[in-house]
A = this chain, B = another copy of it.
Amino acid sequence: MLYDRFIVALDPPRGAGVGWALRVASALCGFAWGFKLGLPFLAGFGVEGFRLVRRACPGASIVADLKLADIGFSMRLTVERVGPYVDAVIAHSFVGVEGGLGELAEWARESGVRLALVYTMSHGGSAEVLAPCRGRLAEVIRRVRPWGVVAPATRPGEVEEARRLFPWARILSPGVGAQGARPGSALCAGADYEIVGRSVAHSPRPLEALLEAAREASRCHPR
C-alpha cells in the first residue's frame, strides 16, 4: 500500500479550530508520510499550531508550505519562527537566487531544514506565466539544488519533465482530489509524493479516504 507516499494538506475549513487539525493528524498518524501546513494554517493557528501538530504525530514529516516568495531577509525572518517544528519548507523558484533563495538555502543548510522549490503549480493560472517561463525556473532550481521540487499532479507531463530535469530531487505533487487529479497520477509520472488536501482532510473519515486514495494509486509502481 502506498499510503506512505501521501502528504496531507491541513488547510482548515472555515471556522475550524486547531483541534480539527490535531484530530486529522492523529487519525492519519503512522499512515501518511507527512502533513503540509500552509498559510491558512499559520494565519489560523500560529506557530503554536505547528508545534501541536508535530507533537500529535512526531513520526510524520511536517512540510511548511508558506509558498515563500520574498527577499531573502524576509524569508529568513519567517522560517526562523517555524524552523524548530518543521522538516521542510516550500518556496517559489521564481524569486531567483541573488538576495533571495540563496539566503534561504543557506539558512536551510545551517538549520537542517529541507528546502523544496515550486517548479509549476496545479491551477489553470500556472499556464499563464509559470509554465512559459519554466526554462528560467529550471535554471534557478539547478543552481539552488534543493531537496525537493514541487510539480502539479494535474499536469503529469510537467511531473515527468521535473523528474527528468531534477533527478536528485524528491518530487512533491499537489492537486490530487478536489483539484482534479486522480490519486496516482503523479506517482505514475515519477513523483515521490502526492499531496492531497480537502478530499482526505475534510472527509468525515480521513483514514478511510487516505487508504482509498492509496489503493487507487497502487496501479503505479513508483521508484
Contact = CB atoms under 8 A, between A and B. Distances in A.
Nearest to A102: B125
Question: Looking at chain A's contact residues, is the secondary structure mostly helix, strand, loop, or mixed?
Answer: helix
Given A95-B121, A129-B93, A43 B42 contact: yes
Contacts of A110: none
Contact of A129 (B80, B125, B137): B137
B11 A74 contact: yes
Interface size class of A (residues with CB under 8 A): 35 or more
Interface stretch (A63-71, A156-164, A210-218): A63-71
Nearest to A139: B128
Interface string A71-94: 111110110111000000000111
25 contacts: A39-B77, A39-B78, A40-B74, A40-B78, A42-B43, A43-B77, A67-B68, A67-B74, A69-B92, A71-B122, A72-B123, A92-B92, A93-B129, A94-B129, A94-B130, A96-B125, A96-B126, A96-B128, A98-B123, A100-B125, A102-B125, A125-B140, A128-B139, A129-B136, A133-B133
